[in-house]
Structure 1
Amino acid sequence: MATMNIRPEVSLSLHQRILKDIEDNILTGRWPPGYKIPSEQALTEQYACSRMTVNKVVTQLARAGLVLRRRKTGSIVMPQNSQSAILEIYDIRHEVEALGLDYHFDIQDRTVRSPTKAEQDALSLSSRRRLLQLSCLHYAGGEPFCLEERLINLSVVPQAESESFRELAPGPWLLQHVPWNAAEHRIAAEAADDATSKYLSVPKGAPVLLVERQTWRLDETVTRVRLTYPGAQHALTARFTPTQSLNPLGM
């Protein structure tokens, strides 16, 4: 006789189950940024529960930054943006335009490949994963402003392989298409090597500002990026405000 596997979810309260179902839909990408989630009335009928229970779930998701509530049009999955991270790093286009300079970008290099052993360890990837490697040069007023070197995990973002990135640079494109739930930043001052010197038109050994960021969706790396700026021309500013620690699952 076949045995039935009992899923752990059966031990969750109804509130936790609704919360987990919606959170899973968001974090797995089934409900992308901007997706209109079912109305509170629809969720009440789907789960055969009170309107108050659903309202508490949606409120909790909104406080956790996963849902944007709109009074008349209904709630949507929160549009992803660079300010969702603890450290605010703005879209490079916005940085340039804030300086009153014309902006454009060029994809310098594009390769689909397997991860190296070092990348498997650093990104927690198996050797069977495929990566899209991109080099993108951002310009301000016709001069090199930032070198973007990015790896995208194609098992999480398969649509990136066929994306041309002609209209949007890789960073804002990912923010519009892929939800993420964790990010890590590293900032360092370094000396320009040969390749960086060539891309940014600075002398070899000149100071550069390096910003590295890695984002995850659930337990999988979405992307890792290195943003390199000429050190004498760029300053990084962040604004911090007090926040509450929230646990979306109430645990």
Structure 2
Amino acid sequence: MARTQEAGQDVVVTENREARGPFLVVCEHASNRFPAAFGTLGLSPRARTAHIAWDPGALGVARRLAQLLDAPLVAAGVSRLVYDLNRPPHSAGAMTARSEDYDIPGNLHLGPDERLRRTEAIYLPFHARLRAEIARRLAAGRPPVVVTVHSFTPVWFGKPRTVEFGVIHDADPALALAVVAEAKARTHLDCRLNEPYSAADEVTHTLRLQATPYGLANVMLEIRNDLIADPAAEEAMATGLAPVLKAALAAISRQPEEKAAP
């Protein structure tokens, strides 16, 4: 396991770096840590453990998927309220002042110096580490398939969400479409394409920054967090999704051959 130390806390954690499988797993909202250098942003302990601060269950699923897929894992070690690693530095959402019905006092009226401090301490080390993991595999002739793992709350602004498993794509929909097809065939999950979010909601920054420029197959997974509320549920979800991802990759790998066939 490798770690980057900034502001007295781990901002990025990498695991399984020597894995030989085709996938690379990413979890940008893995942690609800608030480094001392940035304080608690004026939030109560309850708010700091709520879904606004991280994606509950996502890290457990991502870790198990990385093991099952023989894949490296790159995960965040800081709350997304300090810096949301799936947003670019110029985005208001990178250091949001409000999340759902919570105000984030420590993010109100941030000046350019503070935005730069957080960007240099958190965003740059995380994405540099992820880019390095991708580059290592590209250099070895093993272009990785980038899979980002997230979770979402079952109720949003008082409205229940019935979707259980969302599959989101950036510019290239091929892997996402294959994942949806395989999830519907192999699981009992209510699986939908580009729900509860899509690229139009600016949620594909990591894919757009790290995978799309290299032409890498990629997909963003969104799992309703009540389905991964404890370690056993995380394990079960990862165990169900690993064969889905493998089959989806096999399906898109066959497509060029099928198109070339007379």
Shorter chain as denominator, the TM-score bin is under 0.3
Structure of greater relative contact order (alpha carbons < 8 Å, 6+ residues apart): 2
TM-score by length of 2: 0.24
Which has the larger share of strand? 1
